[in-house]
Amino acid sequence: MRVQTAIDDSKFVQAISQNRQTENDLDYLVARLHGRRSRMAEAERLDNLCRIRNLHEFFRTIFPESDIKEVVGFQRQLIDQMVDEFSRFCSHLSGRGTDLLDWMLVRFQVENLKVLIRACLTKAPLEEFKEYLISLPVKFTVNIQELTKAESPADFVHLVPIRLLQEDLEKALEIYNKYPRSFFFEAALDCGYLKGLIEKTVHLSGEDCAFVRPMVFQEADIFNIMLVARGKFYYGLAPDILRQFYVPGTQISRTQFHSMLDEAYLSSSMGRIPHCVFDTDLPQFNREGGSIDVDASVLEGLAWNRFYRLANLAFRQSHMGLAAIVGYTGLRRVELANLIRISEGIRMDIPAETIRAHMIPRIGLEVKHV
């Protein structure tokens, strides 16, 4: 079975760079992105990809000209392509839009820092984790040699190049000294990144503000929700610890977040979330003997469904450029996550229907908004 997804877009990316002499560079870019959107792995294409049962066939379907043999190599090529694509967008913008798109690339730097902090904590040699590091433009690279030589978590934190990330890492460091888990550093990195992302949207106006800020708020609220759903109800972490990683300024207020942490059950905790964070009614969870059947992945899927809808809305209805580009980046991130899930599902021999059920947007859920 051959499914044309056109994920291998090196020629598309080069075309953007080589055609900057057009009359309106930004309009040209947005037009090209609409062409790329039409070839994304969505809807029926996504269904067909989920039915593939052989990794080699799946790799060749996505990258016809590559000879990828392992899941790690496949996922790396997906991410490398996305970074290359996103890093070229700023050449078509100026002003605050550039700052926002630049910060979105910091997300990949954050993922590298997560890998490096785990290596620091476990004293693993560079060779064991190097393949998991993302190749980034020079502007977003970190000093891997220095970070891998850090003798302690405190030394590592002081070497992180962005002050906003350092601030939350310092909170994590205090907690780690009492409760040694890498989770706190990873949560701190996400928290710092999302605070910065919200900050970059403060001065947006008009159409850009109307479309971009809801997307950014939704991403931050997914993080806040998972702090509660996974942090408290799965890992059993104390509410006072989790409160320190709350991302403010979104649809979930600090008071609501604290109330969520104070609830005894996940279902009642999620009942504290404003309705605007989900597009569907929350599922009912089963309680037995005073406990609750926790399924954080369902909540996460519902929240990402809304993110997908907001990204699609920004991409389809924006006419000024920046919001369309940000919407596109959201759609591409969802596509990337879906393709990675499929590769892992095939590797683990998970049934096709189960793989499809975990794609974004989730199927079989009633959506209130269009």
Residue 242, both tokens: 């989790």
Q: Which of the four pLDDT bands, split at 50, 70 and 90, describes residue 22?
A: very low
Residues 165, 113 contacting (CB under 8 angstroms): yes
What is the structure's pLDDT at 13? Answer: 52
Residues 79, 70 contacting (CB under 8 angstroms): no
| Domain positions in the chain | 10-357
Per-residue pLDDT reduced to its tens digit, 209-224: 999 999 999 999 999 9
Per-residue pLDDT reduced to its tens digit, 317-326: 997 689 999 9
The answer, yes or no, to whether residue 57 has pLDDT greater than 70, is yes
Output the CA–CA distances (angstroms, integers) from residue 69 to 52, 55, 57, 63, in the order listed: 16, 8, 10, 12
SS3 292: strand
The structure tokens 């899927």 sit at: 301
Reported for 243-249, long-range contacts at CB under 8 A and 24+ positions apart, including other chains, are 244/171, 244/175, 245/168, 245/171, 245/184, 245/187, 245/188, 245/190, 245/191, 246/191, 247/191, 247/194, 247/195, 247/198, 247/220, 247/221, 247/223, 248/195, 249/198, 249/217, 249/220
Per-residue pLDDT reduced to its tens digit, 315-368: 999 976 899 999 999 999 999 999 999 999 999 999 999 999 999 998 755 444
The whole-model pTM stands at: 0.89
